[in-house]
Every structure is written in structure tokens, then in C-alpha cells.
């Protein structure tokens, strides 16, 4: 069965510092991989996705993620965090064979200090 692990429940960074959120997945084949962000009281917004091809993908709001097949990881990075990035971040995996359900990690809550 597919699963997603986000080992960090809560991360605090200073504004302007770099950020890396970890995501490891378990899946039988190459999956689709996604990062979503959820601000308080809001829905989920797609930050970026890995579908195929270049393993370093760029997303919105200055985020990027790197797919590493050998490590079953898809870590999210941002070189300089802004206070508005404070939110909850979810990594998700979906099957390539059919457009079907996403399996989400438990999320990482990001706090940004000024």
C-alpha cells in the first residue's frame, strides 16, 4: 500500500532563512508526487508536482522540490522564507496508472519568526 511520511510535525524558521521540508514515500512504481499548502481556515493549494522528466521541479511562491528515486524522497525547499509562508504543508502521492486518490502525509506546520 502506498504511504507518505513527513517526519517533521512542526518546524520554526526565521524570516529570510532557508527551508527544507522532508517527505518520504512508499509506492510500488513511480508515482505522481505533489506538495500542497494549507493556510489556516483555507483549502489546499497546489505548490508543485512531479510527473516525469526533470527531477528538480519548480513551483509557485519560490518553492522547489527534488525527486530522488533512490531515497524515495521528494523534499520541498525554499531559499528564503517569508512570513506569509507560515502554513501547513502536505506531501501527497498518487498513482500514475489512473487518475485516482491522493495519499497524504500528516503534514508539517511551518512557523516563521520575524
Which residues lie below 8 Å from residue 42, measured CB to CB, with a gap of 6+? Answer: none
Q: Is position 27 an interface residue for other proteins (rule: CB under 8 A)?
A: no
Q: Which stretch binds other proteins (CB under 8 A): 11-19, 64-72, 78-86, 91-99?
A: 91-99
Nearest to 92 by CA among 61, 47, 40: 47
- Tell me the window of 17-25, 29-37, 60-68, 74-82 that interacts with other proteins (CB under 8 A): 29-37
37 binds other proteins (CB under 8 A): no
Applying CB under 8 A, does 58 fall inside the site for other proteins? no
| Greatest C-alpha distance within the chain | 44
Rounded distance, CA 37 to CA 50, Å? 16
36 binds other proteins (CB under 8 A): yes
- Interaction of residue 67 with other proteins, rule CB under 8 A: no
Taking phi over 0 as left and psi of -120 to 50 as alpha, with beta for the rest, 71 belongs to alpha
Under the criterion CB under 8 A, does residue 2 sit at the interface with other proteins? no
Amino acid at each position: 500500500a502506498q504511504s507518505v511520511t513527513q517526519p517533521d510535525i512542526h518546524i520554526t524558521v526565521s524570516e529570510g532563512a532557508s527551508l527544507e521540508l522532508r517527505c518520504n514515500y512508499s509506492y510500488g512504481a513511480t508515482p505522481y508526487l505533489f506538495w500542497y499548502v494549507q493556510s489556516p481556515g483555507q483549502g489546499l493549494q497546489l505548490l508543485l508536482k512531479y510527473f516525469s522528466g526533470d527531477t528538480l521541479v519548480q513551483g509557485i511562491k519560490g518553492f522547489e522540490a527534488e525527486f530522488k528515486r533512490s531515497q524515495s524522497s521528494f523534499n520541498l525547499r525554499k531559499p528564503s522564507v517569508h512570513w506569509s509562508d507560515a502554513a501547513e504543508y502536505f506531501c501527497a502521492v498518487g498513482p500514475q496508472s489512473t487518475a485516482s486518490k491522493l495519499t497524504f502525509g500528516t503534514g508539517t506546520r511551518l512557523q516563521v519568526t520575524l
